[in-house]
Structure 1
Amino acid sequence: MNQQGSYQINTISSCVEAEISRLKAQVELFWDKEFKHYIEFGLSDGMLIAELGSGPGFVTEKILGRLPNTKITAIEIDPFLADYARKYLSQKKFSQVEVLQKSIMQTGLAENFFDFAVIRLVLEHLPDPVNAVREVFRILKPGGKAIFVDNDFEMHIMTYPNILELRELYDAYCRSRYAEGGNPKIGRELPNILKRGGFSKVDFEIINAHSEIVCEEIFFKSEGIGIPVKLVQDGFLSSKSLGKISMEWRNMLKDENHSILRQLYIGIGEKLV
């Protein structure tokens, strides 16, 4: 298994452009609540931040937009995404960021250097998440903190009325990611993994996005059809099942009282002095 693990932009979805759009919507879906946790656990303006697994740069953009005096070193292993982030952030006129094409497993960054680290939706794709956490721990200053955000596909999208067939979709997704060395149910393991990686004062939170609170359209954009189509193409999900899911999704939306819920899991740790 290569260090990139179970997420490659060119293979996870049937369309790269659609996947980029989905990643952007996935940030928008949670950001207001998510950023409150970042601040609550110590992120402040003027810090030196490491963002590991920074993808297209959408989280980087959000942080710099709220905390303009921070400096971010963004690490991304995928050459396409690293290049995309450089161009995207440059177009946004952000100068206080450096994007490096490196692995979270071996960043090559200085020891005891950063005040804060953000690792969002990365550990779930890695075959060796504990050693990734140890590398984050190494580059933080004593007293530095890190936030790890991940999924747990035991509970992903939930709806009212309930769509039973979504379980089949998520089971197929999990089989696909497990086959590539990932762990799509890692959310529940975050506190244990952080402690094994060296962190102390570990805490754990769940953030929710609900269609009665945030724009329903952002849910649609943050899911998309690209990954389910790829699951069908790769033999993890039948086309008949995907058709049934699509039909039940449309029926759910016709209910005037329908709702959509999704969760993310946050593990927080500190490198003690």
Structure 2
Amino acid sequence: MTTTTRSSYYSAGEHPHPEYELNRLREQALVFWPKELRNLQRLGLRPDMDVLDAGSGPGFITEQLLQNVPEGSVTGLELDTGLFEQSRSYLASYEGPRLNLVRGSITDAPLPDARFDLALARLVLQHIAEPAQALSELGRVLRPGGRLVVADADDALWGSIHPDIPGLAEVMELRRRHQAQRGGNRYVGRAVPAMMRAAGFTDITVEAIAVTSDELGMAALAGHLDVRARTALMVKEGVISEELVARTESEVTAFLDDPVSSFMLLMFLYSGTKPAGEPR
């Protein structure tokens, strides 16, 4: 994103519960990572690669990438000042030639052409108004033959809850509208393959990654059901009613107390190759 690009993600100091949000991002990174890594390796991630973590946030995925390219390097690109500073602090022990943290935009990156073997844009396209421009820019910074991997969501296929939490569907719909008003799109996943083709990528693939409470335990995913924390800004802005939040919060409590409850989250990996011989 350029400095004029809208982002639907929270700006520095905007989230009413910043510690919750940081913990949620950490949990979100770590619960998907084992399966995500296997897919990245299948898509060509090697220990000697130069990797771009585009939209690197507080650095949790940047750290995982560093640990899996011990002979290569990782560049974390993040526009938001608050998240960028958090990543600098979190990754301080990795300071050295293998780590480069850059403050800048995914749609106008202050990075050289053809610098990276693999670029990962993880849960970032849903937050920006110009995802096609971002994909084009990621193509520019990849080496010919390099691989782009986009990890993102499509809320039509977000996961599943059993037994049902009645108020959750309404909360999620209001969240989708709120994010759209802020410049994002929680349905962006379905458009990614076509945008990749338009940006010149070939060999496009799509994989689904599922994580479940049955595998990991409900505690590993329960933070994603913290309706009060996740909707605090929406309540503040009058987008969602306190009554709906309170009712759904009560339903979530009953769900978490039910010994037969099950919760699954889905994320999709979209990948494509920059054709060999393209210098851009």
In the superposition, the TM-score normalised over structure 2's length comes to: 0.92
Residues 134 and 194 (structure 1), Cα distance of their counterparts in 2 relative to 1, 3 Å cut: same
Q: What CA distance in whole angstroms lies between the structure 2 residues aligned with 1:124 and 1:67?
A: 27
| Cα pair 1:145 1:270 within 8 Å, conserved | yes
Q: Give the CA deviation at 1:62.
A: 0.9
Q: Select 2:266's aligned residue among 254, 263, 267.
A: 263
Q: Read off the aligned partner of 1:252 and give its amino acid letter.
A: F
Q: Give the CA deviation at 1:41.
A: 0.5
Q: Select 1:22's aligned residue among 21, 24, 37.
A: 24
Aligned length: 273
Q: Give the CA deviation at 1:5.
A: 1.4
| Cα pair 1:10 1:16 within 8 Å, conserved | no
Q: What CA distance in whole angstroms lies between the structure 1 residues aligned with 2:97 and 2:142?
A: 22
Aligned to 2:244: 241
Q: Give the CA deviation at 1:116.
A: 0.4
| Cα pair 1:5 1:127 within 8 Å, conserved | yes
Gapped regions of structure 1 (runs ≥ 5) = none
Deviations 1:92-137 (A, max 9, x none): 5665111111001111211122100010011111111001000000
Aligned to 1:122: 124
| Cα pair 2:114 2:143 within 8 Å, conserved | yes
Aligned to 2:5: 3
Output aligned runs, 1:189-228, within 5 Å: 189-224=191-226, 225-228=228-231
| Cα pair 2:122 2:150 within 8 Å, conserved | yes
Q: Read off the aligned partner of 1:203 and give its amino acid letter.
A: T
Q: Read off the aligned partner of 1:136 and give its amino acid letter.
A: L
1:187 equivalenced with 2:173 (yes/no)? no
Q: Select 1:64's aligned residue among 63, 66, 88.
A: 66
1:170 equivalenced with 2:142 (yes/no)? no
Residues 198 and 222 (structure 1), Cα distance of their counterparts in 2 relative to 1, 3 Å cut: same
Q: Read off the aligned partner of 2:201 and give its amino acid letter.
A: F
Q: Give the CA deviation at 1:8.
A: 2.5
- 3-state SS of 1:213 partner: helix
Q: Select 1:102's aligned residue among 83, 101, 104.
A: 104
- Tell me the percent identity: 28
- 3-state SS of 2:246 partner: helix
Q: Read off the aligned partner of 1:65 and give its amino acid letter.
A: Q
**Greater displacement, 188-197 / 151-160:** 151-160
Aligned to 1:251: 254
Gapped regions of structure 2 (runs ≥ 5) = none
| Cα pair 1:122 1:150 within 8 Å, conserved | yes
Aligned to 1:54: 56
Q: CA RMSD in A?
A: 1.7
| Cα pair 1:4 1:77 within 8 Å, conserved | no
- 3-state SS of 1:212 partner: helix
